[in-house]
């Protein structure tokens, strides 16, 4: 992530949420709190943040009205928006995401989860900027070499990703396969021991890992994964029925990429996975492009005869 301190706007008509948000996020980011969509739109005329936390249920102009306006304006269309809501309506989440929000968090937000979701979005934006810059450099290098008779290299090919889902609840595993099977290759495992055995032969692109399992729980499993160089970089999303913030914080401290509560919301599950896959894909592209540029420039004759 870029080293400069990022700016976050929190927009909510609930003063408690604004105060808690400013207190939690203020240690890491520059935070501006606004109590209406109208004030947000006015502020954006002079100041563009790196991310917006936007309440959906506000009087006069609700969050859905606000994001429509943001997406119509080229100057604000690319700002990542994370929706905040106190509603438990399962139909609201896919509707909200369809307007271009990057994430959706229920209130009151879990502090570890809120911090991780923001960190993920800012990382994605940082990677996008780096990819654009490297693409510009690579395009220049490729064009120069093509003019000298070389053939263009193929870009990284997208392949169907593999997900391991680990849970001792067969219902959760069945739901996971049903929701994810259309988009990914899914292997279900009912224990941490079976996961570790399966990983000896096949490294997945992502692991969905239940925390509360007998014999070896999710925290024990992730410790072993992170200690092994072959598995340390696999993104792990924790699944849990617990609302305990301390458990969430502990899980994140071991290197989990995200955290989802059970019962699983299909739109939320797909969005979290999509986000992690995108982060990993961009990491690979950055690595590939850096090597490509290094190889091209290493083979260039800089001497002048």
67-84 confidence digits (pLDDT tens):
999 999 999 999 999 999
Is residue 299 a part of any domain in this protein? no
pTM above 0.85, yes or no: no
62: three-class secondary structure by DSSP: coil
Q: Nearest CA to 259 among 218, 294, 289?
A: 218
* Residues contacting residue 74 through CB under 8 Å, at least 6 positions apart: none
Is residue 73 a part of any domain in this protein? yes
pLDDT for position 156:
42
Question: Same domain for 101 and 12?
Answer: yes
Is residue 243 a part of any domain in this protein? yes
Is residue 107 a part of any domain in this protein? yes
pLDDT for position 305:
45
* Residues contacting residue 10 through CB under 8 Å, at least 6 positions apart: 17, 18, 21, 22, 25, 31, 32, 33, 34, 52, 53
Q: Give the confidence band of 302 by pLDDT, cuts at 50, 70, 90.
A: very low
How many domains, the chain? 2
Question: Same domain for 79 and 188?
Answer: no
Question: Which domain covers residue 28, as residue numbers?
Answer: 7-122
Question: Same domain for 118 and 170?
Answer: no
Question: Same domain for 166 and 117?
Answer: no
What's the CA gap between 287 and 300, in Å, rounded? 20
How confident is the model over 82-100, as a mean pLDDT? Answer: 80
How confident is the model over 146-167, as a mean pLDDT? Answer: 66
pLDDT digits (tens, 9 = 90+) for 18-48: 999 999 999 999 999 999 999 999 999 999 9
> What CATH number is attached to the domain comprising 266?
3.40.50.2300
Is residue 89 a part of any domain in this protein? yes
pLDDT digits (tens, 9 = 90+) for 219-271: 999 999 999 999 999 999 999 887 666 777 777 788 888 888 888 888 888 98
* 211 phi and psi angles, rounded to 5 deg: -85, -45
């Amino acid at each position: 992530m870029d080293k400069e301190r990022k700016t976050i706007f929190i927009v909510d008509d609930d003063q408690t949420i604004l105060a808690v948000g400013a207190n939690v996020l203020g240690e890491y980011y520059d935070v501006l709190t606004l109590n209406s969509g109208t004030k947000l739109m006015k502020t954006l005329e002079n100041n563009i943040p790196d991310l917006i936390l936007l309440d959906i249920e506000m009087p006069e102009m609700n969050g859905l009205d606000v994001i429509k306006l943001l997406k119509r304006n080229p100057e604000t269309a690319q700002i990542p928006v994370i929706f905040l809501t106190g509603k438990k309506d399962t139909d609201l989440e896919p509707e909200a995401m369809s307007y271009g929000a990057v994430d959706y968090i229920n209130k009151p937000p879990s502090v570890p989860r809120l911090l991780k979701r923001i960190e993920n979005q800012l990382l994605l934006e940082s990677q996008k900027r780096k990819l654009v810059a490297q693409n510009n450099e690579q395009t220049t290098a490729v064009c120069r070499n093509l003019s000298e008779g070389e053939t263009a290299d193929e870009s990284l090919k997208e392949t169907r990703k593999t997900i391991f889902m680990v849970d001792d609840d067969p219902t959760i595993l069945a739901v996971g396969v049903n929701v994810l099977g259309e988009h990914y290759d899914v292997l279900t495992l009912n224990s941490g021991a079976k996961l570790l055995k399966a990983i000896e032969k096949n490294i997945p692109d992502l692991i969905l890992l239940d925390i509360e399992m007998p014999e070896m729980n999710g925290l024990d499993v992730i410790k072993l994964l992170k200690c092994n160089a072959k598995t340390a970089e696999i993104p792990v999303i924790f699944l849990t029925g617990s609302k305990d913030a301390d458990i969430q914080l502990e899980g994140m401290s071991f290197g989990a990429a995200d955290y989802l509560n059970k019962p699983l919301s299909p739109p939320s599950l797909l969005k979290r996975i999509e986000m992690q896959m995108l982060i990993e894909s961009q990491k690979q592209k950055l690595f590939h492009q850096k090597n490509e540029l290094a190889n091209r420039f290493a083979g260039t004759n800089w001497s002048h005869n």
